[in-house]
Amino acid sequence: MSAKFVVTVVLLLVGTLISLIVWQDQIFVPEETIHAPAVVLDRAQKEAEKTSPQIVAKQDGSRGVESAIIRAPEKGVLLTTPLTVSGSAPQSWFVKDFLEIRLMNTSGEVVAEQDALLPRTLLPVAPGELLPFDVTLTFDNAQYSGQRLLLLVKKPGTSALNEQIAQTVEVMPFALEQTIRVQEPIPGAEVIGDTVLRGEAAGWYFEGDFPVEVIGSNGEILATGFVSATEDWMQVGFVPFIGSISITPPAGMTTGTLRFRKDNPSGIEKFDASFDVPVRFATAQ
């Protein structure tokens, strides 16, 4: 057997073995073990970002859903009216050029709202870049004194959590004297029979009224009534009221109290408030 023949046979065997290895690799290698090069994935992700502005890079380098930022009011600051709300939001959140900004109470009722206008002078923007917004909300400080409210910035017409941002805020407490002013009767006035009640209040009304009581010096309720707003009771600030109550004190009682009570339909005790005016009971004629 010549050396040339042996070399030829060896080469044929090696070629056959290599073909078998390649064939097995193509048939039996599980698909999940085949990984594309990192550079290919990175390029694909960048292309996706160009076509989908909702995907942006967070500050920590991770990928996430685009969101808005509320810069004012700052967290923990007690609010008062007028309230400036500012921040930035994605262009996609502005529907028909408007961004929805609301202040809501714990029952979900709107306390104040104002749409922010799309700042077209800043267009176009790069994918993922946020646009600034700045609005002023006006609400009744007295009515919501000391209460926690929810500030909501959202894309109009959507309830998707990734298209809105919320922040809990608290309204600065008002002293009682800053929410009601009784002009008639004045403290220490003599009252008897039908007595006119006049003044102004902010945040005390519900459906345009709030209750009044006459308390005797013995602590008993001698009479009840109510006063009514003479203007739109839902407007911000003080609203004038007028009413009357019939006072008939028991024999021998000379002093008492007119107690004005804030109407509190929620029934939550912390929202109760009352204001007392001491009076003297005149001798019946």
Burial class (CB in 10 A: 0-12, 13-18, 19+), 249: buried
Closest CA to 151 of 236, 83, 249: 83
CA distances (Å), origin 83, targets 55, 61, 151, 234: 32, 34, 11, 18
> Per DSSP, what are the bridge partners of residue 100?
115, 154
DSSP characters over 166-231 = EEEEEEPP--GGGTEEEEESPTT-EE-EEEEEEEEESS--BTTEEEEEEEETTS-EEEEEEEEESS
Give the chain's mean pLDDT. 80
Token pair for 218: 């013995």
Residues 26-66: pLDDT tens digits?
A: 434 333 333 333 333 343 334 433 433 333 323 333 333 46
Q: Percentage of the chain with pLDDT > 90?
A: 53
Residues 92-111: pLDDT tens digits?
A: 999 999 999 999 998 889 99
pLDDT at 177: 65
pLDDT at 264 over 80: yes
Cβ atoms of residues 53 and 92 within 8 Å: yes
pLDDT at 282: 87
Closest CA to 195 of 223, 162, 230: 223
Structure-model confidence comparison of residues 161 and 224, the more confident one: 224
Structure-model confidence comparison of residues 30 and 228, the more confident one: 228
Q: Report the SS3 class of residue 54.
A: coil
pLDDT at 66: 63
Structure-model confidence comparison of residues 30 and 124, the more confident one: 124
> Per DSSP, what are the bridge partners of residue 279?
256
| Beta-strand pair 98-104/164-171 | unpaired
Band of residue 226 on the pLDDT scale cut at 50, 70, 90:
very high
Question: What span, in angstroms and rounded, lies between the C-alpha atoms of 207 and 232?
Answer: 10
Question: What span, in angstroms and rounded, lies between the C-alpha atoms of 174 and 181?
Answer: 13
Structure-model confidence comparison of residues 241 and 12, the more confident one: 241
Q: Helix, strand, coil % (nearest 5) of the chain?
A: 20, 40, 40
**Which domains does the chain carry?**
3-52 (no CATH), 66-171 (2.60.40.2550), 176-281 (2.60.40.10)
Cβ atoms of residues 141 and 80 within 8 Å: yes
Q: Report the SS3 class of residue 157.
A: coil
Mean per-residue pLDDT, 127-131: 91
Structure-model confidence comparison of residues 58 and 169, the more confident one: 169
Token pair for 23: 């064939």
